Amino acid sequence: MSAEFNNLAIDFCGIKSPNPFWLASAPPTDKAYNVIRAFEAGWGGVVWKTLGEDPPAVNVSSRYSAIYGKNREVIGFNNIELITDRSLEINLREITAVKEAWPDRAIVVSLMLPCEEHYWADILPKVEATGADGIELNFGCPHGMPERGMGAAVGQVPEYVGMVTAWCKKHSKLPVIVKLTPNITDIRQPARAAHGGGADAVSLINTINSITSIDLERMVALPTVGSASTHGGYCGTAVKPIALNMVAEIARDPQTRGLPISGIGGINNWRDAAEFIALGAGCVQVCTAAMLHGFRIVEEMKDGLSRWMDSQGYRTIEEFRGRAVPNTTDWKYLDMNFKTIAHISQADCIGCGRCHVACEDTSHQAVARLVDEATGKRTYEVIDSECVGCNLCEITCPVQGCITMVPQQTGKGYLNWTQDPRNPRAEQVPTAA
């Protein structure tokens, strides 16, 4: 049994959990064996892999592909696996047994069914009878199931999202979490629809439509099934920025502000989790990191988050949840008078010249290369008057902390784009009385 941390306990839309780290609906939560191992490792909850109507879905072989970085580090992960391929009866029996054995852990059951009310009315009492803590409506799966009128095919139509959510609230007393698809223009629209249908929370993001790579010898995408392939759902580290933005959009939308959010997408460590929570998430769901590194990663996640909270004086998750939301705004409200420029620490510089090449070739020609005629030694210095503070040199520098961005005193007050005289549609700035 793993250690627990008192400051990590949460109550997410009425669902209690000893910590905010849940396993997402996916292969790691497909059956009792996996879920029990996860709870033994210390996970606070799971979303059981999506259940559907009988007969169950049939999966293909193979199912996964990946994008690799250096040393075969998996940056992005793609899958074409469908919902559970086990019978409803077996899943319900196992959910009941696991919940009885682990009453302090959150068990949420993911569901995906056709858009006809009677299917939902039939399954919801059966799920409720297991003792599960809530349900998650899978409106996000981007492959296989949309071809059958489910998954993302529902999530991309706000009217359907609101309709099915309302059915679930009508036929069940359990908290209803609506899982949203990122394969949509404006994530706020389905979130508003879910809220309007009575959802207790939303979870996001589900996976992103993708083809990760092509086998140029066989001229077929990966993963390959026989001699063909298809698009799949992309997840892992690479999708985190997309997920953070969509979480923030919902958290700061006046029409959904206050709606509980379960954050999903590229969460590998405690810091990733803290970022989602800072943008409003009440819990986080993990899949790819667990599949790549095993369930024990949750110990470092819990320990790291708890220690960071202690260092910041946060006694509970709620004390810092959403604290970054007020600082997230539309571009037009950013301060046009703010200025920052780069500074290169000569003591830390290794003389590689990457900052100069990047700035000279693709940016503002603001990093000078200086050569000592006597020694031939090269040094690099920022030309302050040319630097626009774009951060490119800092990003390309291989030495952390060598290049820093230094805010400048301009003597000018706050001025956003709606007020800027350079904007032909600027609004008149009120004068002081």
Chain segment 46-65, per-residue pLDDT in tens: 999 999 999 999 989 989 99
Q: Average of pLDDT values for 271-283? A: 98
CA 279/CA 12 separation, integer angstroms: 15
151 falls in which pLDDT band (50, 70, 90)? low
Chain segment 60-75, per-residue pLDDT in tens: 998 999 999 999 999 9
Buried b / exposed e over 245-263, threshold 16 CB at 10 Å, is ebbbbbbbbeebeebbbbb
Residue 425, pLDDT score: 87
Q: Average of pLDDT values for 153-166? A: 92
pLDDT at 161 over 90: yes
User: Beta 367-371 vs 378-382: how paired, if at all?
Assistant: antiparallel
Tell me where in the chain the CATH 3.30.70.20 domain(s) lie.
331-419
Tell me where in the chain the CATH 3.20.20.70 domain(s) lie.
10-327
Residue 405, pLDDT score: 98
Total residue count of the chain as it appears in this document: 433
Q: Average of pLDDT values for 88-95? A: 98
- In sequence order, the 6+-apart residues with CB closer than 8 A to the CB of 140 are 151, 152, 155, 179, 180, 181, 182, 183, 204, 205, 206, 207
Would you call 156 exposed, middle or buried from its count of C-beta atoms within 10 A (0-12, 13-18, 19+)? Answer: buried
Q: Are 275 and 245 in contact (CB under 8 A)?
A: no
- Out of 3.30.70.20, 3.40.50.1000, 3.40.1190.20, 2.60.40.10, select the CATH number for domain 331-419: 3.30.70.20
Chain segment 298-343, per-residue pLDDT in tens: 999 999 999 999 999 999 999 999 999 999 999 999 999 999 999 9
Q: Which of 78, 79, 101, 85 is nearest to 32 (CA)?
A: 101
Alpha-carbon torsion (135, 140, 144, 145), positive or negative = positive
Residue 142, pLDDT score: 67
Tokens of 332: 């037009």
Residue 433, pLDDT score: 40
Chain segment 137-150, per-residue pLDDT in tens: 999 776 656 666 76
Chain segment 216-227, per-residue pLDDT in tens: 999 999 999 999
Cα dihedral: 164, 167, 169, 170 (round 10): 170
The CATH code that applies to domain 10-327 is: 3.20.20.70
6 falls in which pLDDT band (50, 70, 90)? confident
Count Cβ atoms below 10 Å from residue 154 Cβ, excluding itself.
Answer: 28
Q: Are 29 and 46 in contact (CB under 8 A)?
A: yes
153 falls in which pLDDT band (50, 70, 90)? confident
Annotated active-site positions, please?
Answer: 141
pLDDT at 399 over 50: yes
Residue 155, pLDDT score: 85
